[in-house]
Amino acid sequence: MPELYFHVRWPDGASLRCYSPSTVVADYFTPGAVYDVTDFLERSRQSLGIASERVREKYGFSCTGASDQLAEIERTAAAYAGRPGATVTVEALRYADGSER
């Protein structure tokens, strides 16, 4: 399956490279777009859930990489819960070979 990494910047300026085992995340995130933390979290849950399910359909087991990535996103997002105006910027979408989408 084609892996895709989505690079994000959190409200405090910290950057994070996030992993997806599927390109489905490109249907949920746009490079350069800014998302409210709550919206970003929901989009992450949906896209990584679908990505993990695609792995399960193909290989017979879900993707622990996708669930681990979602757990990291949820932990990070929790730090900004209740902060009005907190946003996440999607800086880039990149394939494992480094090419951008």
For residue 1, what pLDDT is reported?
Answer: 60
For residue 97, what pLDDT is reported?
Answer: 80
Integer Cα distance of 79 and 23 in angstroms: 27
Of 35, 33, 26, residue with least CA distance to 3:
26
Residue found under tokens 């910047």: 9
Between 97 and 40, whose confidence is greater? 40
Model confidence over 27-45: pLDDT tens digits? 999 999 999 999 999 999 9
Q: 82 pLDDT band (50/70/90 cuts)?
A: confident
Between 40 and 2, whose confidence is greater? 40
